[in-house]
Chain A
Amino acid sequence: MVMVNGAESVSKYRMARAAVDMGDFSVAELIALADVPEGTAAHFISTLTGGHLVQTVSLPSQGKGRPRNSYQLVEAGRKSLRNYMHQVRLRTEGDKVPFPDASSPKEVEIFAEPVMALAAPYFKGYPSGSRYVLVGAVPGLSAKDVTVLPKRHHVTVQGSNPASVLPSWAQKAIGLFRETFIRDVDIPADFANPVVLRQVVRNGILTVELGKATEAVGTIAMAKAAAKR
């Protein structure tokens, strides 16, 4: 399983998204949109500039300060950042189908992610007989920290990290994942509106067994019949 670095990855992802959404942007806009320090934004822009992924345009001077620059994403830059975003999303959502044109390792290289701690839990689903099983790593969590909400076409898994009682510097040091997470995991159409039959956390691994909606009807009918008897 490939995992991505936590805080750094989120910042970089935010900056990539802001750059793609804006098309052209200043350092100040990137800082505001991605909520990152100036140095982080400047480093990101210098990476883009070095890779010839942006064009630098001088903006008209306003007052006495230094002249400002605007950075316009060129087509190769837009593609590169979109691919990077896809790669990050694919790593955090192993159940997603890759976008058809998303795999171009060379373009992604500039924004390659180091393999490090888990940024967000990764869930994998597979059919097992009449059940559909979801498995995901939730290190540090127990069953009571995790909520599984079945929806029509996906299952929402929510969790709260007990480490959030620690001071923020300690949480950063642990760096496993944020205080809370919410993941939507797609499920096959024949398991639409599933019922949660079993949910356990053992050795940091969450296992959820889902049954078909009809199974719930059967279970309820059996329970009613038993009650009548």
Chain B
Amino acid sequence: MWWLQPKQFAFYSAVLLDLTFVHEYLCHVIPVNRQLDKDIREIWLHCGIAFGMRNLPDLKSERHPVRFVWQMFRNGYAKHHNIDEFHVGGPLSLDDLARDLSGRPLFWTITLAVLAAPDGQDQADQIARLFNKLSSFNDAQLDGLQASGQTTIAMLDIVASVLQSMR
């Protein structure tokens, strides 16, 4: 549901209105599963947008202000909603994972699997556990996962087997 919030951070979202809608659409409208964890929506799925922002064919002089205004919006939003300073941007481990993987085929594979995951709390929990495990993977383990070529959220089992094989 949308409503006007006459707060300072709303100004920044108005400046980047198209980006705000892209975020809302990709992170909150498209995913079939309505119970997806907030961090998965706000960090993982948003990372796809951030990847696009970083790699826009525009001049750097055009990209830089967009990034700055987006950060101002995010900080203002967090402050308004009393989000703990150390939690702005969500868990660093998931953030790092998303940043490191974004752009790699595995990122899009996982993203598509998340977007298409059927609705239901069980599926959402399974995805949350998957990301929890993925966050502890090192590069070799992620490469192993990519090599497996799996495309569904049954990847949780694959994650377990990759972990097993790395021991």
Contact = CB atoms under 8 A, between A and B. Distances in A.
A and B pair up:
yes
Interface of A: 10, 13-14, 17-18, 21-24, 29, 32-33, 35, 82, 85-86, 88-89, 92-93, 96-97, 99-101, 120, 152-153, 180-184, 189, 192
Interface stretch (B25-33, B86-94, B104-112): B86-94
A10 B125 CA distance: 32
A119 to B, nearest CB: 8
A5 B95 CA distance: 25
B19 to A, nearest CB: 15
B84 A33 contact: no
Contacts of B24: none
Contacts of A29: 68
A32 B68 CA distance: 9
CB-CB nearest 4 A-B residue pairs = A100-B138, A99-B93, A10-B85, A21-B71
29 contacts: A10-B85, A14-B85, A17-B88, A17-B89, A21-B89, A22-B67, A23-B67, A24-B64, A29-B68, A32-B68, A33-B75, A35-B75, A82-B92, A82-B96, A85-B92, A89-B86, A92-B86, A96-B91, A99-B93, A100-B136, A101-B138, A152-B121, A152-B125, A153-B125, A180-B82, A181-B84, A182-B84, A183-B84, A189-B129
B117 interface: no
A120 B84 CA distance: 9
Given A13-B85, A120-B84, 12 more contacts: A17-B89, A21-B67, A21-B71, A21-B89, A22-B68, A24-B64, A32-B72, A33-B68, A152-B125, A182-B84, A183-B84, A189-B129
